């Protein structure tokens, strides 16, 4: 079944119909219609899957997809056009450019926490780049997976973009097939398996993974606003976001203030009993619920800590004075539990961050420009956001992706188009001006070598003006032997 | 491994980050090449009997050009690039920083032993990384020379050369790197990718394959033959971008063969073995491999075919009357054997190419632009060049790399710098305008949602980062939110 879908997609791609601009725009606008016309059903599916608030879904999932589609529709003709590049003296009369081409059949493996955005945004780029794509939504978000399987064929070319549902065995079967690119969003354990499977066919991959995204609160900052923004980011989608602030680093003197501000904000957001708030979500399934409770064990609970197994509900929880070697600091939390680790100064913070795997996102709250500059210069991460959390995700001009353990490759906006294209280097020459070429042919003489080097050598500095002058001169001399007489 | 730990400590100390350090190292590398040209030429002569001309043009000068280009451009490349924003983030700073990855591994190849290891190194240094070089053990003299010269010119804390064969490479790959850059064969590439998967290490693979050369339509046959012969027999055919085989109609073949013969005699004389401008095969094993291919072919040898094992000379050879199932068509030739296959039409030629793995380079010789365009549109390859061979890879503006089985990633010029950098998306926000931020907080309301959607969605017309209309929208929104919501919150 999996093989059939892949073979069908390859047949569809080989027919060539996914290449023309018209086709790509048509498919993209059909996808846009799907999101707009079926929004109510998508919202319901997410409510069933993860108790997502109906207000969170448009902002967190759908707007990103819509923006990517609109950007592609507006700019696709430009993106597909050849991009001319700098020439050397020897190629001054030739056409030199880079042309974006489709790769072929792309495999897109989605995740369960934002099942629509994380599956459809890569698909937007795959379509824009002229590829066929096999879409494999996560089986953990069941309702969304079956809704996607039902809806996509109603709007898009079924053969070109088949949806394959299923669990681990189906995914493994898919990974045995040959793809021209595999796009995976999920955790690093499976990420390694995907990369290994891709290695067999020498297929390039994009891996959007995760990790522990640190959140540093400097003494010198507006702590109230900082805590409000952090609370929003941490507890949206019940903490199940790859770029959620995973843990807080702050000076022990402000820990108490931070806890109080967050506690206050939680009251404002979700009321006395978050369980009754329509805006607070649930843990996706029993397995993750149990995992999170185990992580809290042994830590000092400052706020929250209650849970209800029947609803997979965990109240917003803050842990204080967490030790660096605690279990909760060894893996990505991916839930509504916020540990606070204290650190004496910025040096300690930077050291702490650098001793750990490179995160997907780094958050810094500080009004001190020096501190901000040090954090930017002395650490690395997929992305970095100062004085807020998560919203860098909404700028599709920024490349979104990890580094090291947090991922390989990047996407969003034009970056997805670039990631799923092959940028082919093209040199279009003519057979004329053969006299000029004589300098490079054997038999070799010192003077021929000198001539060749003259033409091929890079000049110091930018010499576009010199090149332009030479272009004029060379055109005039095109049919003359003056060059040969001078240098031959 | 101790060396790797040492390099990692150096990287973490931040010594490779400043622009000055990177420029100093790059200029030292330039001095290495300028000071040691005779020794380099000697090593290349020992390894491949590389003629001085080829060594200067395709090894030394290529690296020198890339170095000069990089040294001049680096101050620009490392600047953050600012990006467009949406209404909700208008007052923020959004930009992309290029950051070093850490400790990278560069594995070279034997056919251009200097260029294929130093060209990636340029970008690795420019991007602020530490690097381990693993030159090919097959080109022994160059390997030894690099091991001797690199520590003399570059910082020993940050750059190291490790010599050895398959065993040493295997144990090297058990370590964690932040990027692996490999030039070589597909078989080894698979095991490198598998080793990289263990640590989620990104890789660049510069592989090979069979680069087709289509000759079709109206053209100047002698000029085409000269360029074809030059690119095919340069380095005795041992180039990953050498035209591997030729496709043309039977009529064109009749014109092509004498033109090739003429070009060969102009270039190498009647006895190529005596010509100083023709290289040798790198090892006995490869010489045997090429002879065996000639032995197995069903085609007819019309030029060359002879060789002498003592000096690893293999004559420029042309084979005709063979088809796609021939022994010469099963693997990359990587030697001075040129099979010429006949096709009945351009369509047939394109189908033949597309039935095979995507090549590293694709060549078309024709004066008819429709022919060139048709092949360009209907095929895929790492790079494409019409009416010449190889030279597309000398252009610093073009990315050099494969696609599909011919590789992943690209380099040369700025592309090497990008390959060895991490593009970090950065956003710097302020504390103000918290009232706009409040739109996104729970308890959620329908009206907040519609404000937010409007503020964060892409607008129909976009006239650059900050257009007058967008500014007006923005100020209106701010005023409204501050006055109206202030009023209703009492």
**Once rounded to an integer, what is the mean pLDDT over residues B305-323?**
95
Per-residue pLDDT band for A474 (boundaries 50, 70, 90) equals: low
pLDDT recorded at residue A445: 78
pTM (two decimals): 0.92
pLDDT digits (tens, 9 = 90+) for B12-27: 999 999 999 999 999 9
Show which of residues 394-413 on chain A sit within 8 Å of chain B, judged by CB atoms: 394-401, 403-405, 407-410
Q: How confident is the model at residue B447 (pLDDT cuts 50, 70, 90)?
A: confident
Per-residue confidence (pLDDT) for residue B471, from 0 to 100 = 63
The one catalytic residue among B240, B248, B385, B418:
B240
pLDDT band, very low/low/confident/very high, at B86 (cuts 50, 70, 90):
low
- Tally Cβ neighbours within 10 Å of residue B469: 11
Residue A461 pLDDT: 39
Q: What is the model's pLDDT at position A483?
A: 45
Cα–Cα distances (Å) from A300 to A239, A336, B203, B330, in that order, read 19, 15, 43, 66
Chain mean pLDDT for chain A: 91
Q: What is the mean pLDDT of residues B244-259?
A: 97
pLDDT of residue B455: 72
Give the pLDDT score at B369: 93
Amino acid A482: pLDDT: 44
The verdict on a CB contact (< 8 Å) between B53 and A392 is no
Q: What is the mean pLDDT of residues B287-294?
A: 96
Cα–Cα distance measured from residue B464 to residue B461, given in angstroms and rounded to the nearest whole number: 9
| Host H or E run for residue A23 | helix A21-37
The two beta strands, B361-365 and B179-183, are unpaired
Average pLDDT of B215-239? Answer: 95
Gap between the Cα atoms of B330 and B339, Å rounded: 12
Residue A112: pLDDT over 80: yes
Query: What is the sign, positive or negative, of the torsion defined by CA atoms of B406, B408, B414, B416?
Result: negative
Count of other CB atoms within 10 angstroms of residue A13: 23
Give the pLDDT score at B53. Answer: 86
CA-CA distance, B474 to B384, in Å (whole number)?
Answer: 47
DSSP H helical ranges for B234-357:
250-268, 284-296, 346-354
Whether the pLDDT of residue A89 is over 80: the answer is no
Please give the average per-residue pLDDT across A433-447, as a whole number.
77
Q: Greater confidence, B391 or B206?
A: B206
**Which residue reads 């353990």 in tokens?**
A405
Inter-residue contact A255 to A320 (CB < 8 Å): yes
pLDDT of residue A446: 78
Chain A interface test: which of B425, B447, B454, B461 (most A C-beta within 10 Å)? B425
Tell me which DSSP letter residue A62 carries. Answer: I
pLDDT-wise least confident of A248-257, A441-450, B274-283, B315-324: A441-450
The residues that bridge with B131 in the sheet, in sequence order, are: B104, B159
Residue A79: count other Cβ atoms within 10 Å of its Cβ.
Answer: 17
Better-predicted residue by pLDDT, B483 or B23? B23
Q: What is the DSSP string of B196-251?
A: HHHTT--EEEE-----EEEE-SS--HHHHHHHHHHHHHGGGG--TTS--EEEE-HH
pLDDT tens per residue, range A282-307: 999 999 999 999 999 999 999 999 99
Determine, for residues B83 and A440 on separate chains, whether the beta-carbon distance falls below 8 Å. no
- Nearest 5 degrees, angle CA A154-CA A159-CA A161? 70
pLDDT of B394 above 90: no
pLDDT band for position A54 (cuts 50, 70, 90) = confident
pLDDT at B411 over 80: yes
Q: Is the pLDDT of residue B60 over 90?
A: yes
Summarize pLDDT for A339-357 with one digit per residue, the tens.
Answer: 999 999 999 999 999 999 9
Q: At what angle do helices B221-233 and B250-268 cross, to 10 degrees?
A: 60
Contact A423 B387 (CB under 8 A): no
Tokens representing residue B38 in the block:
């005779």
Would the pLDDT of A421 be above 90?
A: yes
- Nearest partner of A107 among A200, A196, A205, judged by Cα: A205
Q: What values do phi and psi take at B201, rounded to 5?
A: -85, 130
If you average pLDDT over residues A471-478, what whole number do you get? 52
Among A384, A458, A462, which would you mutate to test the B interface (most chain B Cβ atoms within 10 Å of its Cβ)?
A: A458
Q: Which pLDDT does position B487 carry in this prediction? A: 44
Checking if the pLDDT of A77 tops 70, the result is yes
Q: Any CB–CB contact under 8 A between A462 and chain B? A: yes
Q: What is the pLDDT of residues B153-184, one digit of tens each?
A: 999 999 999 999 999 999 999 999 999 999 99
Which candidate from A104, A430, A442 shows the least CB-CB separation from B387?
A: A430
Distance, in Å, from the CA atom of B231 to the CA atom of B391, rounded to the nearest integer, reads 9
pLDDT at A51: 87
Q: Which pLDDT tens digit goes with each residue over B325-372?
A: 999 999 999 999 999 999 999 999 999 999 999 999 999 999 999 999
Given a cut of 60, whether residue A138 has pLDDT beyond it is yes
Which two structure tokens, joined as six digits, stand for A45?
A: 């599916």
The pLDDT of residue B463 is 47
Mean pLDDT of A202-208: 97
Please state, for a pLDDT cut of 70, what percent of chain A lies above it. 92
Share of chain A above pLDDT 90, in %: 83
Q: Answer whether B245's CB lies under 8 Å from B345's CB.
A: no
Catalytic residue (choose from B54, B143, B206, B418): B206
Model confidence at A479, in pLDDT bands (50, 70, 90)? very low
Question: Which of A403-407, B331-335, B434-438 shows the lowest per-residue confidence on average (mean pLDDT)?
Answer: B434-438
pLDDT of B486 above 90: no
Mean pLDDT of B475-490: 54
ipTM of predicted complex: 0.91
Catalytic residues of A: 208, 242
Give the distance from residue A298's alpha carbon to the nearest chain B alpha carbon, in angstroms.
31
**Band of pLDDT at residue A49, cut at 50, 70 and 90:** very high
Sign, Cα dihedral of B107, B112, B113, B118: negative
Q: Which residue from A minimizes the CA distance to B202?
A: A408
């Amino acid at each position: 079944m999996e093989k059939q879908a892949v073979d069908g997609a390859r047949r569809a791609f080989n027919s060539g119909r996914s290449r023309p601009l018209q086709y790509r725009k048509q498919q993209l606008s059909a996808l846009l219609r799907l999101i707009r016309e079926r929004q109510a059903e998508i919202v319901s599916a997410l409510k069933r899957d993860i108790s997502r608030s109906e207000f969170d879904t448009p902002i967190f999932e759908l707007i990103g997809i819509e923006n990517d589609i609109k950007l592609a529709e507006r700019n696709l003709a430009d993106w597909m056009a050849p991009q001319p590049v700098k020439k050397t003296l020897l190629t001054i009369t030739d056409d030199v450019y880079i042309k974006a081409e489709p790769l072929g059949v792309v495999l897109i493996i989605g995740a369960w926490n934002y099942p629509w955005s994380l599956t459809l945004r890569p698909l937007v780029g795959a379509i824009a780049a002229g590829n066929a794509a096999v879409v494999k939504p996560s089986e953990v978000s069941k309702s969304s997976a079956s809704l996607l399987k039902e809806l996509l064929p109603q709007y898009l070319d079924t053969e070109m973009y088949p949806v394959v549902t299923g669990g681990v065995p189906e995914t493994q079967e898919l990974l045995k097939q040959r793809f021209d690119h595999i796009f995976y969003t999920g955790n690093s354990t499976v990420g390694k398996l995907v990369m290994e499977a891709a290695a067999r066919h020498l297929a390039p991959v994009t891996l959007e993974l995760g990790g522990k995204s640190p959140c540093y609160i400097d003494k010198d900052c507006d702590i109230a606003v900082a805590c409000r923004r952090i609370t929003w980011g941490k507890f949206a989608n019940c903490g199940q976001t790859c770029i959620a602030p995973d843990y807080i680093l702050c000076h022990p003197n402000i820990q108490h203030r931070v806890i109080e501000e967050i506690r206050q904000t939680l009251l404002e957001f979700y009321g006395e009993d978050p369980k009754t708030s329509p805006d607070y979500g649930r843990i996706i399934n029993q397995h993750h619920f149990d995992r999170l409770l185990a992580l809290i064990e042994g830590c000092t609970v400052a706020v929250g800590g209650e849970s209800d197994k029947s609803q997979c509900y965990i109240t917003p929880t803050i842990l204080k004075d967490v030790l660096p070697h605690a279990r909760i600091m060894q893996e990505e939390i991916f839930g509504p539990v916020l540990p606070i680790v204290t650190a004496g100064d910025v040096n300690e913070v930077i050291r702490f961050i650098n001793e750990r795997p490179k995160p997907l996102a780094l958050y810094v709250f500080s009004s001190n420009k020096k501190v901000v500059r040090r954090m930017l210069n002395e650490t690395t991460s997929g992305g970095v956001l100062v004085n807020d959390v998560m919203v860098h995700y909404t700028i599709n001009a920024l490349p979104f992706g990890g580094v090291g353990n947090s991922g390989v490759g990047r996407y969003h906006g034009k970056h997805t188009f670039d990631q799923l294209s092959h940028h082919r280097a093209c040199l279009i020459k003519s057979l004329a001006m053969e006299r000029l070429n004589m300098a490079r042919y054997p038999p070799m003489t010192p003077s021929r070598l000198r001539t060749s080097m003259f033409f091929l050598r890079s000049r110091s500095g930018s010499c576009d003006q010199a090149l332009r002058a030479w272009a004029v001169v060379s055109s005039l001399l095109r049919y003359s032997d003056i060059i040969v007489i001078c240098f031959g | 491994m101790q060396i790797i730990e040492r390099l990692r400590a150096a990287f973490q100390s931040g010594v490779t980050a400043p622009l000055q350090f990177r420029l100093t190292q790059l200029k030292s590398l330039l001095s290495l090449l300028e000071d040691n040209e005779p020794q380099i030429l000697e090593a290349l002569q020992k390894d491949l009997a590389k003629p001085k001309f080829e060594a200067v043009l395709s090894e030394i000068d290529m690296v020198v050009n890339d170095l000069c280009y990089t040294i001049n451009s680096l101050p620009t490349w490392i600047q953050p690039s600012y990006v467009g924003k949406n209404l909700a983030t208008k007052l923020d700073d959004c930009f992309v920083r290029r950051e070093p990855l850490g400790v990278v591994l560069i594995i070279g190849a034997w056919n251009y032993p200097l260029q294929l290891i130093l060209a990636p190194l340029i970008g690795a240094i420019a991007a602020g990384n530490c690097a381990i070089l693993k030159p090919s053990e097959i080109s022994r003299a160059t390997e030894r020379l690099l091991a001797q010269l690199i520590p003399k010119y570059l910082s020993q804390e940050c750059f190291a050369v490790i010599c050895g064969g398959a065993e040493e490479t295997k144990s090297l790959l058990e370590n964690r790197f932040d990027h692996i850059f490999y030039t070589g064969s597909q078989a080894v590439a698979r095991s490198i990718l598998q080793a990289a998967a263990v640590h989620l290490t990104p890789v660049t693979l510069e592989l090979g394959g069979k680069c087709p050369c289509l000759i079709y339509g109206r053209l100047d046959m002698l000029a085409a033959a000269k360029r074809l012969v030059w690119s095919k027999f340069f380095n005795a055919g041992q180039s990953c971008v050498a035209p591997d085989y030729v496709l043309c109609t039977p009529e064109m073949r009749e014109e092509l063969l004498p033109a090739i013969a003429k070009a060969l005699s102009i270039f190498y004389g009647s006895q190529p073995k005596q010509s100083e401008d023709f290289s040798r095969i790198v090892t006995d094993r490869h010489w045997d491999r090429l002879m065996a291919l000639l032995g197995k072919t069903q085609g007819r040898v019309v030029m060359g075919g002879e060789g002498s094992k003592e000096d690893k000379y293999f004559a420029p050879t042309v084979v005709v009357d063979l088809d796609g199932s021939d022994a010469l068509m099963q693997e990359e030739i990587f030697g001075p054997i040129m099979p010429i296959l006949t096709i009945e039409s351009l369509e047939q030629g394109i189908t033949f190419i597309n039935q095979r793995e995507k090549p590293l380079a694709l060549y078309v010789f024709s004066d008819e632009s429709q022919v060139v365009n048709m092949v360009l549109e209907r095929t895929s390859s790492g790079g494409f060049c019409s009416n010449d061979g190889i030279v597309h890879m000398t252009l610093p503006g073009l990315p050099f790399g494969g696609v599909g089985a011919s590789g992943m990633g690209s380099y040369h010029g700025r592309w090497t710098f990008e390959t060895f950098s991490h593009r970090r998306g950065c956003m710097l926000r302020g504390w103000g305008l918290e009232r706009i931020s409040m739109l996104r907080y729970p308890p959620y309301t329908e009206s907040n949602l519609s404000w937010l959607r409007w503020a964060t969605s892409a607008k129909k017309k976009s006239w650059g980062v900050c257009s007058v209309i967008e500014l007006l929208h923005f100020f209106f929104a701010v005023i409204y939110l501050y006055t109206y919501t202030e009023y209703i919150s009492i």
